[in-house]
Chain A
Amino acid sequence: MAMTVHVDIVSAEGELYSGQGEMIYAPAVMGEIGVAPRHAPLVTRLKPGDVRVDPGGGKPMEHFYVSGGIIEVQPFRVTIMADTGVRAADLDEAAALEAKRRAEEALANRSSEMEIAKAQAELAEAVAQLQTIEKLRKMKK
């Protein structure tokens, strides 16, 4: 039996996942990280992207989308606190495309510094959502 670690994924709107995982992938600000059981303690911020949990035992990979947040790693436990998160399968591609278009538009008619920053953040989020959907689709094939 392979080693596993307890994984909790929560967002401000509720609990998304709680269970064992053999490997967890998360989009940290410095680049994607993979966390195996007995990883050294780590805290880092997450950027918009997908979180994957390999529950082990041949079960399919669990996919989640997070819009940012914080991951805490302890040797015996991994906690992901997402600002907002959804199961990747629930992501709405049309809505993400629409959000991307809107953000790009806002960037094109650039106005104040503040709005540009906001539009960039929104764009990054929409792009990350689309990438998550894309990945999920590839996996299914």
Chain B
Amino acid sequence: MAGAKEIRSKIGSIKNTQKITRAMEMVAAAKMRKAQDRMLASRPYATKMREVISHLSLAHPEHSHPFMEKREVKSVGYIIVSSDRGLCGGLNNNLFRALVKEVKDLQESGKEIKYCLVGNKAVAFFSRVGGDVLAQATHLGDVPRVEDLIGTVKVMLDAYLDGSVDEVRIAYNRFVNTMTQDPTVERLVPLPEPDEEEGEKLRHHWDYIYEPDAMEVLEDLMSRYIESLVYQAVVENGACEQSARMVAMKAASDNAGNLIDELELVYNKARQAAITQEISEIVSGAAAV
């Protein structure tokens, strides 16, 4: 009857695991709400900023900002936004996989790649696979602040300004809904162009009126642009992380439930078999007497 006892203890341990995953699921669900609200609140600003910037990329200003000039791309800088913690399904791995594919193509065409990392998981990944890491920021917490990101991003922008990278891209998970997260890579600088329809209206030669003067306004606009887009990427990734974790933990709890059911069946069978055997022993013993 040793089998039954082993099965009992196994069921007990799985039940404990299930308790933990269920607790994590609930924590993630609670945090997800807040993370989503935060993301949705700042989304319109980032969207508008992107629009304005794409208009700007079609203007012909007398003072050209370095971010507006296209150079021949010899090296590409990536800002990679990942989560600080694991146990969130394939979230980070999906992003890295998409990234590695892109990076490989770039490297094959002889381009240099540099990285700025946000989040522990990216740091762990790149310390494993190697790569030229310029800066990193970790432990942003549940409420990311722009101030914590600025340093890291500035390193990349400085590299752009002094010419050691010719293009800066940002990679993050874009939040679609609770079940779907979309690994996204976007170009940050030089400024991205608007889509066709919008662009058509602005194809002619024109320029803004700048007040007080072009340089000051552009400088201000650029810093806001970078700040808002990087911040948006981080909060989107945060919302993705919590939803991915919730889904992953829900799946884990369900799996634990299935395992318990199966084991309980095995256990009952073993118990039944033991009882049957005992009875038949007693009966045959009695018959012998």
Contact = CB atoms under 8 A, between A and B. Distances in A.
Contacts of A13: 41-42
Contacts of A30: 211-212
A42 B211 contact: yes
Interface residues of A, number: 22
* Interface residue SS majority, chain B: helix
A19 B2 CA distance: 75
B42 A12 contact: yes
A81 B212 contact: no
Interface stretch (A51-59, A69-77, A89-97, A131-139): A69-77
Residue from A8, A28, A44 having most chain B Cβ neighbours under 10 A: A44
B266 interface: no
Contacts, number: 71
B44 A10 contact: yes
Contact of B41 (A14, A43, A72, A74): A14
A12 B229 CA distance: 11
* Interface residue SS majority, chain A: strand
Interface string B218-229: 001100100010
B221 A70 contact: yes
Given A43-B221, A81-B48, A76 B201 contact: yes
The 10 lowest CB-CB distance pairs between A and B, nearest first, are A44-B211, A15-B44, A42-B209, A10-B44, A41-B208, A72-B52, A14-B41, A10-B45, A43-B208, A30-B211
Interface of A: 8, 10-15, 28-30, 40-45, 70, 72, 74, 76, 79, 81
